[in-house]
């Protein structure tokens, strides 16, 4: 049904090809996952399939039509959902659907029935009059999917539809798309969530534009059998330091913290000889992510420079972060309802919840970005309402979206943020030079921030947040849409900071990332719905039908237990 034949796409002679020699046949009635690190060429390939780009060499045919010479013949069969929310935020849900029905030429007589069907399919019927900008992340993705399905497509192209969406909404999106398979629809699904890729019928793995693998997910997972272990018995306060030590072991290809254990992927042939004494190891089944990272060569065996260069924070028994009855009302709607907790020094607290649950509101109140209706927030003992400048001077903030100035160079951005944090003269110059060295930004000093690769944008954002060596670091979905390799590097930096005494509050939709947290607070319907370690939350939902729940299972079940009509 879709033939990609020796396709290469180059932008200019200065950069390597975005795609090089990709050859794939995609079959009908199947979901094909498109995975790879940032910059691998996933979005470029999707745009080639949609006829929005022309290959430099090779050819792409969709249902027998050439995407260059017969682009107009493909459009009636195509549904395309871009990576970024591309609908009109000042139109309502229904107005967006009506506009797309007109653009796609749906006969006027057919529109009421088709729109009603799509609203039921996406569960958006109660929200037809709501402006698109006021939808939660999950609801925006559902609306985008509905618009892509206005006319029933033969080919549905989804470019990372789960980015910024909570696990419950992602599962709902997946069920909706899987329901189309009975109609013989071809689905190409680009994703940063490798648990989604594992559910696809076929997977195309790209790296730096090259095709590394195409076939069923099991083709990557099966060769990993016997090479994955959990290391048990590591003291709670030693896990991060122990993981860093394990990653310097030549027998280890990858490693992550997983609740009360450390999970390691071993090099081929090391399973029978690798020793991690005095701790106990047990073999565990491999995941698709294990095969993905192994095929890419494993993660870099290097220590974060923050472990060496960041100034340790003096120990204190006083909690660096306190939320005391934080409440925020918008008219009659209560977004956060008397939320109270503390975070110990050197602790990572994960603030999780479904889209629209109130976690971002709570997060913003603690950052001083939103004034609470009731209650108070404290940073390093300073009241955010009474002494906001002193409180903010002790925290670093990394926003969900890249929020630095894209037209300023790396050095200019860092100079600006040093000024914002009140650093002057020698302290200013020293701080900027220090973070440039720490994060290896030297070769990019004069490069505009907007032109940096995604991984280096993330480094720059973290460098700006750490310029003044804060006591507390707030991370708002810091790795949304980022590939696993880049996420590993990022968490290597965070773990090093925690070892130096920095306290971290993080929001995330990656449940494997939430396993790094010492403690998790689940926000639902504006209230604290659950609190505990990752393993204690999993234990709460363990049952005969779910004997080994994942953290994602725990998230979904705990949210479903606390749902109300609001």
CATH number at residue 109: 3.40.50.300
Write down the pTM of the prediction. 0.83
The verdict on residue 355 lying in a domain is: no
- Looking at residue 282, its pLDDT comes to 93
- Would the CA dihedral through 379, 380, 383, 389 be positive or negative? negative
Q: Provide the token pair at 379.
A: 């940073």
Residue pair 479/490 in contact by the 8 Å Cβ criterion: yes
- Looking at residue 565, its pLDDT comes to 37
- Looking at residue 135, its pLDDT comes to 84
User: At 564, is the secondary structure helix, strand, or coil?
Assistant: coil
Query: From first to last of its 566 residues, what are the pLDDT tens digits of the chain?
Result: 899 999 999 987 666 788 999 999 998 888 999 998 777 889 999 999 999 999 999 999 999 999 999 999 998 889 898 877 778 999 999 999 999 999 888 999 999 999 998 898 888 898 899 999 888 777 888 888 889 888 888 999 999 887 767 788 788 878 878 877 777 789 999 987 888 888 899 999 998 889 999 999 999 999 999 999 999 999 988 898 899 889 888 899 999 998 889 999 999 988 777 888 899 999 999 999 999 999 888 887 677 888 778 889 999 889 999 999 999 999 888 999 999 999 999 999 999 988 778 888 999 999 888 999 999 999 999 999 999 889 988 999 988 777 789 999 999 999 999 998 889 999 999 999 989 988 889 999 999 998 887 778 888 999 999 989 999 999 988 887 677 888 888 888 899 999 999 999 999 888 888 999 999 999 998 999 999 999 999 999 999 999 989 999 999 999 888 654 33
**Domain match, 152 and 212 both:** yes
Q: How far is CA 221 from the centre of its chain?
A: 22
Closest residue by Cα to residue 44 from 76, 12, 8: 8
**Domain match, 99 and 240 both:** no
Domain enclosing residue 298, as ranges: 228-302
- Looking at residue 563, its pLDDT comes to 57
Q: Which residues, including other chains, have CB under 8 Å from residue 351's CB and lie 6 or more apart?
A: 359, 362, 363, 505, 506, 507, 521, 523
Domain final residue pick, 216, 241, 267:
216
CA atoms of 102 and 191, how far apart (whole Å): 30
**Domain match, 75 and 18 both:** yes
**Domain match, 48 and 123 both:** yes
**Domain match, 132 and 252 both:** no
- Looking at residue 13, its pLDDT comes to 61
What residue spans of 216-358 are helical by DSSP H? 218-221, 239-247, 288-295, 306-309
**Domain match, 187 and 256 both:** no
The verdict on residue 524 lying in a domain is: no
CA atoms of 120 and 123, how far apart (whole Å): 5
**Domain match, 23 and 106 both:** yes
- Looking at residue 562, its pLDDT comes to 65
Q: Domain tally for the chain? A: 3
The verdict on residue 52 lying in a domain is: yes
**Domain match, 22 and 155 both:** yes
The verdict on residue 340 lying in a domain is: no
């Amino acid at each position: 049904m879709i033939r990609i034949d020796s396709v290469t796409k180059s932008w200019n002679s200065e950069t390597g090809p975005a795609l090089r020699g990709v050859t794939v046949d995609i079959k009908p009635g199947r979901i094909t996952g498109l995975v790879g690190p940032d910059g691998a060429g996933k979005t470029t390939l999707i745009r080639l399939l949609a006829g929005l780009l022309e290959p430099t060499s090779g050819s792409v045919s969709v249902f027998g039509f050439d995407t260059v010479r017969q682009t107009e013949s493909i459009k009636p069969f195509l549904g395309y959902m871009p990576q970024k929310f591309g609908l009109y935020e000042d139109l309502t849900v229904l107005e967006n659907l009506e506009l797309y029905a007109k653009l796609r030429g749906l006969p006027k007589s057919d529109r009421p029935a088709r729109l009603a069907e799509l609203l039921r399919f996406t569960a958006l019927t109660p929200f037809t009059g709501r402006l698109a900008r006021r939808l939660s992340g999950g609801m925006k993705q559902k609306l985008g999917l509905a618009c892509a399905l206005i006319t029933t497509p033969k080919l549905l192209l989804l470019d990372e539809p789960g980015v910024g969406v909570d696990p419950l909404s992602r599962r709902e999106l997946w069920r909706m798309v899987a329901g189309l398979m009975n109609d013989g629809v071809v689905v190409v699904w680009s994703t940063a969530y490798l648990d989604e890729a594992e559910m696809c019928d076929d997977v195309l793995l790209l790296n730096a534009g090259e095709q590394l693998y195409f076939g069923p997910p099991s083709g990557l997972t099966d060769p990993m059998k016997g090479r994955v272990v959990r290391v048990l018995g590591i003291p709670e306060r030693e896990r991060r330091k122990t993981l860093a030590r394990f990653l310097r072991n030549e027998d280890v290809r990858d490693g992550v913290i997983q609740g009360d254990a450390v999970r390691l992927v071993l090099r081929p042939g090391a399973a029978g000889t690798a020793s991690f004494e005095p701790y106990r190891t047990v073999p565990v089944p491999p995941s698709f992510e294990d095969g993905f990272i192994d095929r890419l060569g494993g993660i870099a065996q290097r220590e974060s420079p923050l472990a060496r260069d960041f100034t340790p924070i003096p120990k204190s028994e006083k909690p660096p972060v306190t939320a005391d009855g934080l409440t925020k009302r918008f008219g009659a709607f209560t977004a956060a309802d008397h939320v109270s907790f503390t975070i110990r020094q050197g602790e990572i607290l994960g603030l999780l919840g479904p889209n629209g649950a109130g976690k971002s509101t709570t997060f913003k109140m603690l950052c001083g970005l939103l004034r609470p209706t009731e209650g108070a927030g404290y940073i390093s003992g300073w009241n955010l309402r009474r002494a906001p400048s002193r409180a903010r001077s002790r925290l670093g903030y990394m926003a969900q979206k890249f929020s630095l100035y894209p037209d300023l160079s790396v050095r200019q951005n860092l100079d600006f943020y040093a000024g914002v944090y009140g650093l002057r003269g020698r302290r200013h110059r020293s701080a900027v030079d220090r973070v440039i060295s720490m994060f290896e930004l030297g070769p990019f000093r004069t490069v505009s921030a907007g032109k940096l690769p995604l991984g280096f944008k993330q480094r720059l954002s973290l460098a700006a947040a750490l310029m003044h060596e804060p006591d507390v670091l707030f991370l708002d979905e810091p790795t949304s849409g980022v590939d696993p390799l880049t996420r590993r590097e990022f968490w290597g930096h965070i773990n090093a900071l925690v070892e130096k005494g920095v306290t971290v509050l993080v929001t995330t939709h990656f449940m494997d990332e939430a396993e790094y947290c010492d403690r998790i607070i689940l926000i639902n319907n504006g209230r604290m719905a659950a609190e505990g370690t990752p393993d204690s939350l999993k234990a709460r939902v363990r049952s005969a039908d779910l004997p080994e729940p994942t953290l994602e299972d725990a998230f979904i079940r705990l949210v479903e237990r606390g749902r109300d009509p609001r």
